[in-house]
Amino acid sequence: MEDAHARSVTEVLEFFGVELTKGLTEFQVAEHARIYGRNVLPQEGSTPFWKLVLKQFDDLLVKILIAAAIVSFLLALVNGETGLTAFLEPSVILMILAANAAVGVITETNAEKALEELRAYQADIATVLRNGCFSILPAPDLVPGDIVEVSVGCKIPADLRMIEMLSDQLRVDQAILTGESCSVEKELDSTLATNAVYQDKTNILFSATVVVAGRARAVVVGVGSNTAMGSIRDSMLRTEDEATPLKKKLDEFGTFLAKVIAGICVLVWIVNIGHFRDPAHGGFFRGAIHYFKIAVALAVAAIPEGLPAVVTTCLALGTKRMARLNAIVRSLPSVETLGCTTVICSDKTGTLTTNMMSVSKICVLHSVNHSPISAEYSISGTTYAPEGFISDGTGMQLEFPAQLPCLLHIAMCSALCNESVIQYNPDKGNYEKIGESTEVALRVLAEKVGLPGFDSMPSALNMLSKHERASYCNHYWENQFKKVSLLEFSRDRKMMSVLCSRKQMEIMFSKGAPESIISRCTNVLCNDDGSTVPLTANIRAELESRFHSFAGKETLRCLALALKRMPVGQQSLSFDDEKDLTFIGLVGMLDPPREEVNNAILSCMTAGIRVIVVTGDNKVTAESLCRKIGAFDHLADFVGHSYTASEFEELPALQQTMALQRMTLFTRVEPSHKRMLVEALQHQNEVVAMTGDGVNDAPALKKANIGIAMGSGTAVAKSASDMVLADDNFATIVAAVAEGRAIYNNTKQFIRYMISSNIGEVVCIFVAAVLGIPDTLAPVQLLWVNLVTDGLPATAIGFNKQDSDVMKVKPRKVGEAVVTGWLFFRYLVIGAYVGLATVVGFIWWFVYSESGPKLPYSELMNFDTCSTRETTFPCSIFNDRHPSTVSMTVLVVVEMFNALNNLSENQSLLVIPPWSNLWLVGSIILTMLLHILILYVQPLSILFSVTPLSWADWKVIFYLSFPVIIIDEILKFFSRNSTGIRFNFRFRRADLLPKRELRDK
């Protein structure tokens, strides 16, 4: 029944055909179960494991690598190779792909856990009226029309419509659904609001929320998927994970690279068709296979096999750094996504605020003899910890607050007229509440006031252990006074009272809504001398003025406190006793903003990131908070920047689009609105980070480019998120964004490094094929270079230090390619030099080396006809391992120098020296040691087809390698000093890039 909130109790009962005093019959239960189904969230079939695994290989580069591995193995068999050499290359490739697939599978299974966690919030049992008798039944057995009784501590088992109140009031904590910081009072009357959101449905008890006060009966109106919790589950199921910007760019680059590789491989094969019949190959077919093998080697050289592993490693290093900032990353790609975030949709309660109600202002009557007649005090401290100071109107801190009569009696009333508990949790290291937030705030206030009669109070309390300190002053007053009778809070009185006895003296303490308390007062306590004076019209007007100032301008939640001397020996209270009270004071409390949020908001504005505050609270309260945290500092007024969910929905489509571009505050929202906001912003090409902690936030967290859950939030929110804030602090998000930007910059650097190295390998093989000289590098040697000698320095580049201005630049464009334009030209130049240096090293050994054969160059070019003619040298010289060892070593050393080039994109090595990243220096040393190991240790040298080199060989290798630094220094100089040099290479068709994105960005 979707409109139960708008129907009267009688209409709802008639709809289900149920009697208030008897409940459903067994026949009705069976019939309703058949029509509406069971009260459980349906089990969603999880993706089979084999499908998850196959999905990880659905990538063009990966498919090319698999094909290369298979072809490599088949060619080895065709050539008669057996044992380790036949399996080495394909095995290494497949191991890398398996490792990357494992990471992908783990990430994907996290998303399905969110749906499983949702079940944990369903109630287990319910007290149900059937056939005229109450019984306790399993919650899944409930059907629409069942009459259920709920009381304090009860978890609501389904969506219920209130039908009968069994106590003065019923309050429900529905924060997991709506994000409201305070419990909500429920009522029987139907809701008149059109387009009512969850917060407006004050007669509906939502599944999985908790009763915190009172007792009532209600009728089931929604079960299973037809509950508010069920709609959240459905929304999560409809949400598909968005690919991260980096993943998109790498996929685009992979597609481009695949086309280039295919083109070059075919070109090399076609160029050498004339050599297929060369006698050295033993026939046309074997010649074709030989050059096909070269093409495969070219593919292996062109594809950066280690790139996925290095990207994963770099992102993993970033997660470690973020963990130290209290940001726990659950999805590795989200680390980089943070760097291009353009909008942060932040929850208010608990993220921008502490989610701990705290008394911030007190107003008392100072004196009737001189002006001003009232006094105002400010209280510091924003958590449940008993830490903070009380200051007077001039800002002067009070040394002994308990010596002032009004403050002393406020502390007494706060401690005694109170049903809550505050305690210290040693496991979490913080103070926790049990009960209503407003009552806990009063307990904390009593601790800050301290106790009378001690000169060192309240500082002496700091000597206590945290467990004792939590409620020391409250316990003192509870021991001094014996509670005799209690009048609970009720909606009509809007107050509660407690009768206390002490030393043959009976006192009634009362607290409640200021309008209720002040109207019942005839006297007022003076703060200067502790005297009691009549409450005149002038004093009443002054107090009401202060109350309206607290509640209006400062949007504080206000309570008034009062007392009354009762007859000696009185043992009970009646409502008639709540008159002729003595006013003690007015307290104003709020959920205070976190101290560090102001600077974090400012950092976002500087970095070009827009912050939208999204909350279920009312508009006035949220606007007040936004003023305090500086979210509205750049605005003259709030018109066009602050909307409630219903106001936004009523706007025409065009005005909604314009509103989204200016919006700073979005209030009175429910789960569907949060998800809608994320989708709308994403349609405007924004990269959206969404924060949340409740079950209600899960769909939006899953839909956002990066979902950020609170450490104190629900398991559902955490499972649906990409990142969890251990300290629930908005400032941590800003620090994580800076880290994300730095990680992306480093990711770009090592991707460019690997690309330039692979270009060098392609140039090497291509030039060798075109010149007609023997193969310069074996496939297994290329794999060694790609995985080990490229991988270690590339990973170490991820440790490059964060730029000082990383949060002073605008977010990068989502469509920005990893390698474009002038940079691509730069790395083509570097890659070309790497390849040519490798080929020159190979030719040098044959033609010029003292330890080589010193062949004429023409003989080297005609090596394949050696066996068919007379020569002055044996043909076996072309199988010598020296030349390929020189080529491979040149390739390794030149890439080590190239790694130093990537300490910075444009800064010279003279400005950013190698020792600025000791990890890179260490990785270069380790890489060279590993390379020397395979050269000089016998089993390894045979495996990699290499041989030891002489000192003369090493000198030539150094001379050929070092110029790569000089070349890149020249290119960096042009980058720094010439803005006109730009080459607009495109990795894809221009029409694939959304034109709106170009215009907006």
pLDDT digits (tens, 9 = 90+) for 100-157: 666 556 545 544 444 444 445 555 788 899 998 989 888 888 999 999 999 877 888 8
Does residue 909 surpass a pLDDT of 60?
Answer: yes
C-alpha closest to that of 724 among 763, 742, 750, 697:
697
Looking at residue 518, what is its pLDDT?
Answer: 94
Cβ-based neighbours of 648, under 8 Å, separated by 6 or more:
656, 659, 666, 673
Total of domains in the chain: 3
Name the phi and psi angles at 128, rounded to 5: -125, 140
Is residue 654, in this structure, part of any structural domain at all?
yes
User: What's the whole-number mean pLDDT along residues 602-618?
Assistant: 87
- Out of 625-629, 644-648, 675-679, pick the least confident: 625-629
Do 266 and 332 have their domain in common?
A: no
For residue 65, the model assigns a pLDDT of 66
Give yes or no: residues 254 and 341 share one domain: no
The active-site residue, picked from 146, 159, 278, 347, is: 347
From first CA to last CA, the distance across the chain in angstroms is: 46
DSSP states of 7-33 as a string?
S-HHHHHHHHT-BTTTBB-HHHHHHHH
Answer yes or no: do 551 and 461 share one domain.
yes
Half-sphere exposure at residue 693, Cβ-oriented, CA atoms within 13 angstroms = 27
Mean pLDDT of 951-967: 93
Residue 992 has pLDDT above 50, yes or no: no
**pLDDT digit string (tens) for 202-260?**
899 998 888 877 889 999 999 988 888 777 767 666 655 555 566 666 677 667 777 77
Same domain? For 375 and 488 the reply is yes
CA angle (716, 720, 725) in 5-degree steps: 85
CA atoms within 13 A on the CB side of 518: 24
Say yes or no to pLDDT of 451 above 50. Answer: yes
Q: What is the pLDDT of residue 975?
A: 80
> Is the pLDDT reported for residue 993 higher than 60?
no
Considering 563, 590, 617, which residue would you say is the last residue of a domain?
590
Contact 108, 52 (CB under 8 A): yes
Range of the domain at 664: 327-353+594-728
H or E element in which residue 502 lies = strand 495-502
Task: Tell whether 483 is covered by a domain.
Answer: yes
CB-CB contact of 947 with 881 (8 Å): yes
Q: Note the pLDDT tens digit of each residue in 38-61.
A: 888 766 555 666 776 776 676 666
Q: Is the pLDDT of residue 875 over 80?
A: no
Residues 662 and 630 in one domain: yes
Name the pLDDT band for 962 (thresholds 50, 70, 90): very high
What is the maximum span of the chain, computed from C-alpha positions, in angstroms? 131
With a cut of 70, say whether residue 302 has pLDDT above it: no
Name the percent of the chain lying above pLDDT 90: 28
Higher pLDDT, 478 or 912: 478
Contacting residues for 995 by C-beta, under 8 A, at least 6 apart: none
| Cα three-residue angle 970-975-981, rounded to 5 degrees | 110
HSE-CB of 96 using CA atoms within 13 angstroms: 28
Would you say residue 520 has pLDDT above 90? yes
Q: Is the per-residue pLDDT at 994 higher than 60?
A: no
Asked if 552 and 609 sit in the same domain, the reply is no
Tokens (6 digits) for 403:
């010596």
Most confident option among 576-585, 587-596, 768-777: 576-585
Residue 816 included in any domain: yes
DSSP string, 822-885: HHHHHHHHHHHHHHHHHHHHHHHHHHT-TTS----HHHHHTGGGGGGS--SS-GGGGG-SHHHH
pLDDT value at residue 1000: 39
CA-based R_g, the chain, Å? 37
d(CA 770, CA 355) in angstroms, rounded, equals 71
Residues 615 and 563 in one domain: no
Higher pLDDT, 711 or 842: 842
What pLDDT is stored for residue 579 in this prediction? 93
Pick from 590, 615, 636: which residue ends a domain?
A: 590
Residue 768 domain-assigned (yes or no)? yes
> Which has the higher per-residue pLDDT, 745 or 845?
845
Q: Are residues 651 and 668 in the same domain?
A: yes
Q: How far apart are CA 470 and CA 473, in angstroms?
A: 9
Residue 600 predicted with pLDDT over 80: yes
| Judgement on whether residues 448 and 343 belong to the same structural domain of the protein | no
Whether residue 997 has pLDDT greater than 90: no
Query: Average per-residue pLDDT in the chain?
Result: 81
Q: What is the pLDDT of residues 313-324, one digit of tens each?
A: 667 677 777 778
- 929 located within any domain: yes
Q: Which of 536, 559, 590 is the last residue of a domain?
A: 590
Residue 752 is predicted with a pLDDT of 76
The answer, yes or no, to whether residue 818 has pLDDT greater than 60, is yes
Q: Is 347 a catalytic residue?
A: yes
Residues 520 and 668 in one domain: no
Instruction: Kindly state whether residues 535 and 628 are assigned to the same domain.
Output: no
Instruction: State pLDDT tens for residues 556-566.
Output: 889 999 999 99
390 and 485 within one domain: yes
Identify the residue with better confidence: 85 or 499. 499
- The verdict on residue 582 lying in a domain is yes
Give tens-digit pLDDT for 827-872.
Answer: 789 989 999 999 999 999 888 888 888 888 887 777 766 766 777 7
Query: What is the residue type of 179?
Result: G
Q: Are the C-beta atoms of 191 and 444 separated by less than 8 Å?
A: no
Q: Which has the higher per-residue pLDDT, 68 or 490?
A: 490
CB 764 within 8 A of CB 898: no
Q: In this structure, are residues 177 and 695 in contact, taking their beta carbons and an 8 Å threshold? A: yes
Average pLDDT, integer, range 639-667: 90
Q: With a cut of 70, say whether residue 803 has pLDDT above it.
A: no
Q: How far apart are CA 607 and CA 605, in angstroms?
A: 5
CB within 8 A of 480, min separation 6: which ones?
Answer: 502
pTM score of the predicted model = 0.63
Element holding 723 (H helix, E strand): strand 723-725
What single-letter amino acid sits at 68?
A: A
Strands 723-725 and 327-329: antiparallel
User: In terms of DSSP bridges, do strands 557-566 and 642-644 run parallel, antiparallel, or are they unpaired?
Assistant: unpaired
Where is mean pLDDT largest: 95-99, 441-445, 647-651, 872-876? 441-445
CATH code, domain carrying 272: 1.20.1110.10
DSSP single-letter state for residue 184: E
Residue 3 lies in a domain: no
